[in-house]
Structure 1
């Protein structure tokens, strides 16, 4: 049985040259794309990118809307609780005091939004 023999420098360079020639032949045999095909591929890529951007924007808008709805629901619940707690007091407050309470609630809402 023959034993394994390490290839020498000459053999390695010959193998590399053959591999390089084979790669060049394959590259030369590859058909050249015409301008119409290149334009069609570019248009298809552009359409894919636009669809992805549109989908991403819709997703972001849906998330933002869900957050806004959640905040609005929380504020409505807080306002209802405050109204229920303030209802007995409103009957006793003057118009100026009621206005001051409204202004304070408005300022608190503005502060939360910032």
Structure 2
């Protein structure tokens, strides 16, 4: 870089302002050029989020179905156990009545 001996404040200010303006212009140009890629990435992220949400909903639905099946099986087992207990009680009652008669 060459040095100019007559470097006034106004010259330095205008040079700084010009550099700042060129940087801002370059930033805006880069931002405008990158806009389609940014929109594509944003759309891709949105699709990923929607797919993730759909998988979560399906997983929750499967858990609910499995839970209801387990509850139904447990209720069935309890009904069978109660029926077996009642049958045993009725058998003992019948044996006692038979002995008394």
TM-score (norm 2): 0.51
**1:79 to 1:28, Cα distance in 2 relative to 1, 3 A:** same
Deviations 1:21-58 (A, max 9, x none): 2332214545664xxx93x5322111111001011111
Structure 1, gaps ≥5 residues long: 1-13, 90-114
Deviations 1:50-97 (A, max 9, x none): 0010111111112222222222111110011112223465xxxxxxxx
Higher helix share: 2
State the distance in 1 between where 2:13 and 2:61 align.
62
Over 6 Å off, 4+ runs: none
**Which of 1 and 2 has greater Rg?**
2
State the distance in 1 between where 2:36 and 2:15 align.
34
Find the residue that maps to 2:41 and give its secondary structure. helix
Corresponding residue of 2:58: 65
Structure 2, gaps ≥5 residues long: 1-7, 84-101
Aligned residue pairs, count? 72
TM-score (norm 1): 0.46
Corresponding residue of 1:80: 73
Which structure exhibits the higher relative contact order, with contacts defined as CA atoms closer than 8 Å and separated by 6 or more residues? Answer: 1
Corresponding residue of 1:22: 15
Structure 1 vs Structure 2 CA RMSD: 3.3
Alignment of 1:1-114 (within 5 A): 20-30=13-23, 33=29, 38=32, 41-87=34-80
